Amino acid sequence: MLVQKYKDMLGNKSVIRTLSEFATARGKEIGYENVFDYSLGNPSVPVPQEFTDTMIRLLQEKDSVELHGYSPSLGIYSVREKIAASLQRRFGVPYKAEHIFPTSGAAGAIAHAVRCVSEPGDEILTFAPYFPEYGPYINLTGAKLKVVPADTENFQINFEAFEKMLSEKVAAVLINTPNNPSGAVYSTETVRKLSEILEVKSKQYDHKIYLISDEPYREILFEGADAPYVAKYYADTLTCYSFSKSLSLPGERIGYVAVNPACEDAETLIQMCGQISRGIGHNCPSSIMQLAAAETIDLTSDLSVYETNMNILYRELKALGFTCTKPGGTFYIFPKALEDDAVAFCNKALKYDLILVPSDSFGCPGFFRMAYCIDTEKVERSLPALRRFVEQEYK
Amino acid sequence: MLVQKYKDMLGNKSVIRTLSEFATARGKEIGYENVFDYSLGNPSVPVPQEFTDTMIRLLQEKDSVELHGYSPSLGIYSVREKIAASLQRRFGVPYKAEHIFPTSGAAGAIAHAVRCVSEPGDEILTFAPYFPEYGPYINLTGAKLKVVPADTENFQINFEAFEKMLSEKVAAVLINTPNNPSGAVYSTETVRKLSEILEVKSKQYDHKIYLISDEPYREILFEGADAPYVAKYYADTLTCYSFSKSLSLPGERIGYVAVNPACEDAETLIQMCGQISRGIGHNCPSSIMQLAAAETIDLTSDLSVYETNMNILYRELKALGFTCTKPGGTFYIFPKALEDDAVAFCNKALKYDLILVPSDSFGCPGFFRMAYCIDTEKVERSLPALRRFVEQEYK
C-alpha cells in the first residue's frame, strides 16, 4: 500500500513554487527579463573560480579510485579537520575534526541534528517568520514543530511568547540567523538572552534543551551587522551549515553539522549522526564535493551584489512608505504589506509583473518577501513597476 | 536528551570494519601488499576516462550558477529522461522520466523506496545471505526486516521458507541480485516464480506486495549468467540502482529509484519520493553528478578484472575441496567454511594474512565472503597462503 502521509502531501503545492511557475509562464509572454521575479532564493553569483579550478585539478591529478571512493561513515577525516580549523580560526571555538559531520547541505544537516536530540512526540520550537520547509523537516521525523509568533518590530525574538511556549516537552529550539525570510540577523543581546533562558529551563526541566542553529546565510552579512557566532553563547549548540550560498552551489548538497566542543556529548552526537545516516540513506555527501569545499574553505563567491541590491530596494521601499526592517544579511527583505491580506497584496502586484511572496507560509501574516538574488540592473528596472503598483493600488 | 536508539548503536562495530582495521594494522607491520585483504567491497578499477572528461567539460563550459544550481525536487528532468531512455533501450521496459527519481546512491534509493510502501510495524522480507546494512536501512524506518533462510545449495530463493513467512503483514520484499555476499544472480526461473507468488499473495491479502530490487551490481555479470531484468517480471517493482560499481564511484552517492511503468501508481510513487526527501533531508544528489552520470549513462569502467579474479579464486577453492557456488556476477565469492563455525575459520585464516569475512552477519552461518575487488596479481599471490592455510589447519 502506498503510504498515505506522503501521498497526502502531493496536493499541497508551495506558494513559492506556484509563483515561480507563474513568473516562468509570464516570461514566455513578455520575455523573462521583463518579469521582476523576486520569488526564488537561488544564489545568482558565480561559483568562485578557485572552486572550479580545484574540482578540475582533483579530477586531473588524483587517482580516480581514491578520489571517488567511499568516504568513511563520518566523512573524510581531512575534510572534517579543515572545516574544524576554519571554524576555530574564524570564531575562536576550539572545534576538532571529531565535532564535524559532513552532510548533504543544510537540509541533511538538520535531518541529522533533529534526529540526534528529539524523539517522536517531542516539540521543537522555531521563531516566525521561518523557512516553511522546517515543517516537513521536523514533522516527518515524528517530532512536532511549534512556531513562536514573530517579533514584528525588529525580527529578533519575541521572548515573552517564547517563554510561554518553552515547556518540558521541548527537546530543541531551531533558529535561523541570518534569517530567511526576514533578512534579520540575531544580535549578541538576542543570542545571549536566548541562551540564558535555555540554560535556566534545561536545569529546571532536568534535561538539556539543544539549540539547532541553521546558518546557511552566515557569510552574507551587510555593513554594520552585529552577527555573533551562535555556538559561542550556548554549549549545547548543533550548528547546521551549507556551502550553498557562500560558494553558490546549492545543487551540490554539501554542508555539515558542527557540534560545539563545549557540549559534553559533542563527540557522541557526531558518532550518532553516522548511525542516523544509515537509517535515512545519506551515507555522506559526494566525496569530490567534500574535498573541493574543504580546499576552498575560507573562500566565498563575490557576495557584494546582494548588499547592493538590498540597499537599492530598502531605500525605495522606505521612500514609498513601506514599514521595513533593514536586513543585516541574506538576500531577502521582508516589508509589511500595504493591506492586511498579504496574499491579496501580492496578487495585485502580479499585474505589474512583480513577483512577491506573501508571508503567510512563513508563519507571519501581513508581510511579503522579496528575494533579491537577481541582477542589480533588473532590481533597478523593477523600481518603476514598484512605484506604479503602490501608486495605482494604494494611493 | 540524546536519542537512545542511535546511542545504543554506537557499540556495535561491524565485523567487516573490524577486519578491515586489522588488515590496515597488519599492513603497517608487513606491508599492505602482503596482506591478502578480501574484506572490503570497494570498486578497484578506474573510473571511465569519459566520465572524468565529462566532469571537466561541464566545469569548464557550463555557466557555474546553472551547473551547480538547485535541482528540481524530483531531480533534473533531462537526467531522468536519459536514465529512462537507457533502461528502455537495454531492457525493453517503457520507462519515462516520470518513473525515475535520482538518489544518493542505492542507500538513498532504498531509503525512499521503503518509505513509499511501508508503514512502521509492517514487515519487509529479504533473503539470506543479505547485505547487513539492510538491517538499519529498514528497521530505522520503523518497519521490520525479516530474513528468509538461505537456499544454501544455489543461493537462489528458498521458496518453501519464503511462502511460510509471506504473511499479511508483509508490505514489500527486498531482493539483491547479483547478490552481495553470494555472488549469485537470480535466474529467470527464480524471478518468475517469485513474481507469481507475490501476485497470488497480493490478491489473497487484497493489498499490493511491492518488490524492491536492489541492483548496484547489475553491470558486473559473468559469462553465462542468466540475468533477467527483475522489473520485467513483476509490475509493482521499485528498482534501486547505484552508479557506484558500474562507474567505480561509490563516494559520489549517485543512483536512482525506477518505478516500473506497469505499476499503476508509478508516477505517484515517484512524486512521493520527492516528499519523502524533504523529511530525510536528501533533496537530490549532487547536480554535477546527476549530469555527468546521465551523459555517460551506458558506459562502465572496465569490469573484466572481477571475472578474471573470480575464475582464479573459484578454480583454486574447488581444487582445495571447498563447496562453492560459482558466482554469476559481483565481486564476491561465498564458499562454505571448512568447519561449522565460520568465525573460528576466519580467525585461523588471519594467521596466514588472509582476511576473510565470516558469513554470520549475512544471516547465513557457516560460510565466508571474499571480496575480490583487488589486483589480479595480489589474488595470485594469495593462493599459496590459501593453500598453506587449508593444509595446515584442516588436513
- Output the tens digit of pLDDT for each of chain A's 395 residues: 899 999 999 977 778 888 988 999 999 999 999 999 999 899 999 999 999 999 999 999 999 999 999 989 999 999 999 999 999 999 999 999 999 999 999 999 999 999 999 999 999 999 999 999 999 999 999 999 999 999 999 999 999 999 999 999 999 999 999 999 999 999 999 999 999 999 999 999 999 999 999 999 999 999 999 999 999 999 999 999 999 999 999 999 999 999 999 999 999 999 999 999 999 998 899 999 999 999 999 999 999 999 999 999 999 999 999 999 999 999 999 999 999 999 999 999 999 999 999 999 999 999 999 999 999 999 999 999 999 999 999 98
The Cα–Cα gap between A297 and A305 comes to 21
- For chain A, say whether B287 makes contact (Cβ under 8 Å): yes
Nearest in space to A152 (alpha carbons), one of A118, A187, A127: A127
The Cα–Cα gap between A377 and A313 comes to 12
Give the mutation candidate from A275, A296, A299, A300 for the B interface (greatest B CB count, under 10 A): A275
**pLDDT at residue A16 in the model:** 84
Residues of chain B with pLDDT under 70: none
- Output DSSP code: residue B87: H
Residues in chain A: 395
Please, are residues B159 and B153 in contact by the beta-carbon 8 Å criterion? Answer: no
Of the candidates A115, A250, A271, which has its C-beta nearest B3's C-beta? A115
Q: Do A69 and B275 touch (CB under 8 A)?
A: no
Please, are residues B43 and B245 in contact by the beta-carbon 8 Å criterion? Answer: yes
The Cα–Cα gap between A229 and A86 comes to 13
> Alpha carbon of A89 to those of A76, A144, A192, A259: distances in Å?
20, 36, 22, 16
**pLDDT at residue B140 in the model:** 94
The Cα–Cα gap between B303 and A391 comes to 69
- For chain A, say whether B69 makes contact (Cβ under 8 Å): yes
Please, are residues B127 and B157 in contact by the beta-carbon 8 Å criterion? Answer: yes
- Output DSSP code: residue A38: -
Nearest-neighbour CA in chain B from A339: distance (Å): 33
Residues sharing a CB contact under 8 Å with residue B88, sequence separation 6 or more, in sequence order:
B94, B95
Contacts of A140 in chain B (CB under 8 A): 276, 278-280
**pLDDT at residue B18 in the model:** 85
SS3 A161: helix
Instruction: For residue A74, count other CB atoms closer than 10 A to its CB.
Output: 18
**Chain A neighbours among B 198-217 (CB < 8 Å)?**
207-208
The Cα–Cα gap between B27 and B24 comes to 5
The Cα–Cα gap between A50 and B83 comes to 32
Residue of B nearest to A266 (CA): B2
Instruction: For residue B30, count other CB atoms closer than 10 A to its CB.
Output: 10
What is the Cβ-side half-sphere exposure of residue B135, based on CA atoms within 13 angstroms?
A: 13
Counts for chain B of helices (H) and strands (E), in that order: 14, 12
Instruction: For residue A339, count other CB atoms closer than 10 A to its CB.
Output: 13
- For chain B, say whether A287 makes contact (Cβ under 8 Å): yes
**pLDDT at residue B35 in the model:** 97
Cell numbers of A37, please? 521575479
- For chain B, say whether A71 makes contact (Cβ under 8 Å): yes
Contacts of A253 in chain B (CB under 8 A): 282-286
> What pTM does this model have?
0.96
Strands annotated E in chain A: 36-37, 100-103, 123-127, 144-148, 170-176, 210-214, 237-242, 255-259, 332-333, 354-355, 357-358, 368-371
Chain-centre distance of CA B167, in angstroms?
25
Strands annotated E in B11-120: 36-37, 100-103
Q: Are strands B170-176 and B210-214 parallel, antiparallel or unpaired?
A: parallel
Q: Do B2 and A65 touch (CB under 8 A)?
A: no
Contacts of A280 in chain B (CB under 8 A): 111, 140, 280-282
Residue of A nearest to B108 (CA): A281
- For chain B, say whether A92 makes contact (Cβ under 8 Å): no
Contacts of B47 in chain A (CB under 8 A): 64-65, 67-68
Give the mutation candidate from B280, B283, B302 for the A interface (greatest A CB count, under 10 A): B280
Interface size between A and B, measured as CB pairs under 8 A: 237
- For chain A, say whether B220 makes contact (Cβ under 8 Å): no
* N- to C-terminal Cα separation, chain A: 56
**pLDDT at residue B12 in the model:** 76
Chain-centre distance of CA A188, in angstroms?
19
The Cα–Cα gap between A285 and B134 comes to 20
The Cα–Cα gap between A87 and A80 comes to 11
- Output DSSP code: residue A361: G
Chain-centre distance of CA A372, in angstroms?
15
Contacts of A112 in chain B (CB under 8 A): 281
- Inter-axis angle of helices B49-61 and A49-61, nearest 10: 170
The Cα–Cα gap between B93 and B79 comes to 17
Q: Do A281 and B46 touch (CB under 8 A)?
A: no
Q: Which residues pair with A176 in a beta bridge?
A: A214
- For chain A, say whether B259 makes contact (Cβ under 8 Å): no
